[in-house]
Chains A and B, each alone.
Chain A
Amino acid sequence: MPAPVPTDIIRFTNGYIALADGTAVKADLFVSPTLGKIVSGQETFFSARLQPARTIDLDGGLLAPGLIDVQINGAYGVDFSELDIAPGGEDVYLAGLDKVAERIVETGTTSFVPTIITQKEELYAKLLRLLSPRSSPNAAHSLGYHAEGPFLHPERRGAHNNALLLTASTMPPIEAFDKVYGAEGLDQPGVKMITAAPDVEGVMACVENLTSRGVTFSIGHSDADLEQAQQAVDRGARMITHLFNAMPPIHHRDPGVIGLLGDTTRRPYFGIIVDGLHSHPNTIRIAYGAAPDRCILVTDAQWIMDPNLADGVHHWRPGFAFRKEGLRVVIDGTNTLAGSAIPFAECVQNLSKWAGITLPQALVCATAHPAAMLGPHVAEHKGRLEEGFDADMCVFDWDGRVRSTWVMGKEVFRAADVCDGDILRPRNQVNGKA
Chain B
Amino acid sequence: MRLTIRDTKEQVGSYIADYIVKRINDFVPREGHPNFVLGLPTGSSPLPVYKRLVEAHKAGKVSFKDVVSFNMDEYVGIARDHPESYHTFMFKNFFSLIDINPKNTNILDGEAEDLYAECHNYEAKIKAVGGIDLFLGGIGADGHIAFNEPGSSLQSRTRIKTLAYETIIDNARFFNNDLASVPRMALTVGVATVMDAKEVVLIVTGQNKALALSQMIEGSVNHMVTASALQTHKWALVVCDEDATSELRVKTVKYFKSIEKVQDEVEAKYGAMGKDKLGQGRITAA
Instruction: Evaluate contact between A46 and B102: CB separation under 8 angstroms.
Output: yes
The answer to whether residues A50 and B102 also contact, given A28-B96, A41-B96 and a CB cut-off of 8 A, is yes
Instruction: Evaluate contact between B80 and A46: CB separation under 8 angstroms.
Output: yes
> For residue A11, which residue of chain B has the nearest CB?
B96
Instruction: Evaluate contact between A42 and B87: CB separation under 8 angstroms.
Output: yes
> Which residue of B88, B92, B103 contacts A49 across the interface (Cβ within 8 Å)?
B103
Assembly CA distance A313 to B81 (angstroms): 58
The answer to whether residues A51 and B91 also contact, given A43-B81, A46-B80 and a CB cut-off of 8 A, is no
Assembly CA distance A28 to B54 (angstroms): 14
- Does A45 interact with chain B (Cβ within 8 Å)? yes
Assembly CA distance A48 to B88 (angstroms): 15
- Does A279 interact with chain B (Cβ within 8 Å)? no
- Does A40 interact with chain B (Cβ within 8 Å)? yes
Assembly CA distance A50 to B101 (angstroms): 7
Instruction: Evaluate contact between B102 and A45: CB separation under 8 angstroms.
Output: yes
Assembly CA distance A11 to B249 (angstroms): 50
Instruction: Evaluate contact between B102 and A42: CB separation under 8 angstroms.
Output: no
B145 → chain A closest CB, angstroms: 25
Assembly CA distance A48 to B102 (angstroms): 9
- Does B242 interact with chain A (Cβ within 8 Å)? no
Instruction: Please tell me the size bucket of the interface on B.
Output: 10 to 19
Assembly CA distance A28 to B103 (angstroms): 21
> For residue A50, which residue of chain B has the nearest CB?
B102
Instruction: Evaluate contact between B95 and A40: CB separation under 8 angstroms.
Output: no
Instruction: Evaluate contact between A45 and B91: CB separation under 8 angstroms.
Output: yes
Instruction: Evaluate contact between A51 and B81: CB separation under 8 angstroms.
Output: no
B252 → chain A closest CB, angstroms: 40
Can you list, as one digit per residue, whether each of A15-49 has a CB less than 8 Å from chain B (1) or not (0)? 00000000000001000000000001111011011
Assembly CA distance A41 to B87 (angstroms): 12
Return chain A residues, CB-CB under 8 Å to B103. Answer: 49
> For residue B107, which residue of chain A has the nearest CB?
A46
> For residue A51, which residue of chain B has the nearest CB?
B102
Can you list, as one digit per residue, whether each of B68-98 has a CB less than 8 Å from chain A (1) or not (0)? 0000000000001100000110011001100
Instruction: Evaluate contact between B88 and A42: CB separation under 8 angstroms.
Output: yes
B66 → chain A closest CB, angstroms: 14
Return chain A residues, CB-CB under 8 Å to B80. Answer: 42-43, 46
Return chain B residues, CB-CB under 8 Å to A42. Answer: 80-81, 87-88, 91-92, 96
Instruction: Evaluate contact between A45 and B96: CB separation under 8 angstroms.
Output: yes
Return chain B residues, CB-CB under 8 Å to A45. Answer: 91, 95-96, 102, 105
Can you list, as one digit per residue, whether each of A38-74 has a CB less than 8 Å from chain B (1) or not (0)? 0011110110111100000000000000000000000
A47 → chain B closest CB, angstroms: 9
Assembly CA distance A43 to B92 (angstroms): 12
Return chain A residues, CB-CB under 8 Å to B243. Answer: none
- Does B99 interact with chain A (Cβ within 8 Å)? yes
Return chain A residues, CB-CB under 8 Å to B105. Answer: 45-46
> For residue A41, which residue of chain B has the nearest CB?
B96
B152 → chain A closest CB, angstroms: 28
B58 → chain A closest CB, angstroms: 9
Assembly CA distance A175 to B107 (angstroms): 64
B23 → chain A closest CB, angstroms: 23
Return chain B residues, CB-CB under 8 Å to A48. Answer: 102
Return chain B residues, CB-CB under 8 Å to A28. Answer: 96
> For residue B101, which residue of chain A has the nearest CB?
A51
Instruction: Evaluate contact between A51 and B99: CB separation under 8 angstroms.
Output: yes
Assembly CA distance A50 to B91 (angstroms): 12
Looking at A28, A41, A50, A51, the one whose CB has the most chain B CB atoms below 10 A away is A51
Assembly CA distance A429 to B101 (angstroms): 34
A10 → chain B closest CB, angstroms: 13
From residue 139 to 195 of chain B, which have CB atoms closer than 8 A to chain A? none
A55 → chain B closest CB, angstroms: 10
30 interchain pairs (CB within 8 A)?
A11-B96, A28-B96, A40-B81, A41-B91, A41-B96, A42-B80, A42-B81, A42-B87, A42-B91, A42-B92, A42-B96, A43-B80, A43-B81, A45-B91, A45-B95, A45-B96, A45-B102, A45-B105, A46-B80, A46-B87, A46-B91, A46-B102, A46-B105, A46-B107, A48-B102, A49-B102, A49-B103, A50-B102, A51-B101, A51-B102
- Point out residues on A near B: beta carbons under 8 Å: 11, 28, 40-43, 45-46, 48-51
Q: 9 nearest interchain CB pairs?
A: A49-B102, A42-B91, A49-B103, A45-B102, A45-B91, A28-B96, A46-B87, A42-B81, A41-B96
10 further A-B pairs in the complex, CB-CB below 8 A; given A40-B81, A45-B102: A11-B96, A41-B91, A42-B80, A42-B88, A42-B91, A42-B96, A45-B96, A45-B105, A51-B99, A51-B101
